[in-house]
């Protein structure tokens, strides 16, 4: 993944403990563990800037909380050991009261990790499937606990990151925001289960979908097709780039006149190369499960250009390890509104309606038999927003934020 300064991550402010301690976390659809930095992990950074950022985004201190339960102290098998592309997180495990939103929703007995070593100065709130947790002993995820404790009626959430310049966005647990989606652009996709050799049944590990094709359209109106055979793609908000097949990436680098820079480890481009209304884009084509049609969702070249520092920009793209298995990170998830339905094992996504203040939250009821669009009412549900302007840091954090509830 791109791990360069200025590449965007999306953050949410939560509270942990009693009394509440303010902590900022990355929202990550590509993982399922919840963990936070502690005084030990912040002080372990060799770089003073990393340590400062760690302290700025919130350090959890279990000795200051009356609701902390230390699992590791009574059973050493409860350890935190998570590996990411950027490094590993080591520490202990326990349970706490976690607060989301304003006014707060207080989740009790939430299992989480306390980092003693971590690669970045910000913890992670994974919102994937429980089976994707890194620990041998699995616990309910934060989405599970919202459901189990009666705060939402369905294992479902809608994610709206808005465009690359946006200062706000939201995640809706238990529903989605109808006014953030371009009309008639919705695509229904089953989540692809992982099936091991010799097993007839699969299991759900990641938000994995089938991708039918990729097209790149340039300013001349020419469209070039790539990936004409079915591939698989993971929808990962914790990855800041698009992974593309090698032929598509080479073509994109050529038509954008990007140059690879060893220092940044990125494809550099002119920061003003593409206006927000550019007609150049990458199309991702999918087979709509609902009606059998083929539909595409577009990522503008404008959404690919991200700042590395005040005068340097790069394309948020990188080569896929294999051409038939891709990760669709920040640029794709900014360009699409995605509804992650864990009950129905379904992804519903449409083209994002950028920069709109309109909001119409649809709450999905319990025991829905038709997925997220079997909606009985339009009502408030749990909505959390990140706010704040993009900033440049040395670990790729872009949008700082607070959590609000409606």
Q: Position of tokens 């009412």?
A: 377
Nearest to residue 384, comparing CAs of 173, 154, 237, 150? 173
Host H or E run for residue 304: helix 301-304
- The secondary structure of residue 131, as a DSSP letter, is G
Cα separation of the two ends of the chain = 34
The active-site residue out of 28, 162, 177, 400 is 28
Distance CA 23, CA 55 (A): 10
Task: Give the count of beta carbons closer than 10 Å to the beta carbon of residue 276.
Answer: 12
The residues, any chain, with a CB within 8 Å of residue 254's CB and separated by 6 or more, are none
Task: Please state, in angstroms and as integers, the Cα–Cα distance from residue 278 to each residue in 148, 249, 302, 313, following that order.
Answer: 45, 19, 7, 17
Nearest to residue 288, comparing CAs of 225, 231, 210, 183? 210
Q: Is 46 a catalytic residue?
A: no
Task: Please state, in angstroms and as integers, the Cα–Cα distance from residue 254 to each residue in 180, 214, 244, 251, 385, following that order.
Answer: 33, 16, 14, 5, 37
The residues, any chain, with a CB within 8 Å of residue 4's CB and separated by 6 or more, are 264, 265, 266, 308, 314, 396
- The secondary structure of residue 256, as a DSSP letter, is H
The active-site residue out of 33, 162, 236, 323 is 236
Distance CA 96, CA 74 (A): 16
Question: What φ, ψ does residue 69 adopt, rounded to 5°?
Answer: -120, 125
Q: Is 33 exposed, middle or buried (0-12, 13-18, 19+ CB in 10 A)?
A: buried
Q: Is 28 a catalytic residue?
A: yes
| 371 torsion bin: left (phi>0), alpha (psi -120 to 50), beta (else) | left
- For the annotated catalytic residues, the residue numbers are 28, 236
């Amino acid at each position: 993944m791109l791990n360069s300064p200025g590449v965007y991550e999306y953050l949410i402010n939560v509270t942990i403990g009693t009394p509440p301690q303010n902590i900022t976390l990355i929202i990550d659809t590509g993982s399922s563990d919840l963990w936070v930095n502690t005084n030990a992990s912040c002080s372990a950074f060799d770089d003073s800037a990393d340590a400062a950022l760690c302290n700025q985004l919130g350090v959890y201190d279990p000795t200051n909380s009356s609701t902390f339960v230390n699992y590791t102290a009574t059973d050493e098998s409860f350890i935190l050991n998570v590996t990411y592309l950027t490094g590993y997180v080591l520490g202990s495990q326990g349970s706490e009261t976690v607060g989301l939103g304003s006014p707060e929703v207080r989740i009790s007995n939430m299992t989480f990790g306390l980092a003693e070593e971590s690669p970045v100065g910000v913890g992670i709130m994974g919102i994937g499937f429980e089976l994707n947790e890194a620990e041998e002993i699995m616990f309910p995820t934060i989405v599970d606990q919202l459901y189990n404790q009666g705060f939402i009626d369905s294992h479902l959430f809608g994610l709206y990151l808005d465009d690359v310049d946006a200062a706000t966005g939201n995640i809706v647990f238990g529903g989605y925001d109808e006014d953030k989606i371009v009309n008639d652009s919705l695509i229904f996709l089953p989540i692809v289960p992982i099936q091991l050799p010799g097993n007839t049944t699969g299991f759900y590990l990641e938000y994995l979908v089938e991708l039918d094709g990729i097209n790149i359209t340039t300013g001349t109106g020419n469209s070039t097709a790539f990936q004409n055979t079915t591939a698989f793609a993971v929808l990962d908000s914790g990855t800041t780039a698009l992974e593309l097949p090698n032929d598509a990436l080479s073509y994109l680098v050529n038509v954008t006149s990007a140059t690879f820079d060893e220092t940044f480890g990125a494809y550099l481009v002119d920061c003003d190369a593409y206006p927000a209304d550019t007609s150049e884009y990458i199309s991702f084509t999918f087979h709509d499960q609902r009606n059998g049609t083929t539909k595409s969702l577009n990522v503008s070249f404008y959404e690919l250009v991200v700042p590395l520092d005040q005068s340097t920009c790069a394309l948020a793209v990188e080569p896929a390890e294999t051409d038939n298995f891709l990760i669709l990170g920040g640029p794709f998830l900014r360009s699409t509104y995605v509804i992650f339905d864990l009950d129905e094992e379904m992804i519903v996504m449409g083209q994002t309606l950028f920069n709109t203040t309109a909001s119409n939250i649809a709450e999905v009821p319990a025991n829905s038999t038709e997925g997220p669009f079997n909606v009985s009412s339009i009502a408030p549900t749990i909505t959390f927003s990140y706010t704040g302007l993009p900033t440049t840091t040395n670990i790729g954090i872009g949008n700082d934020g607070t959590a609000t509830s409606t």
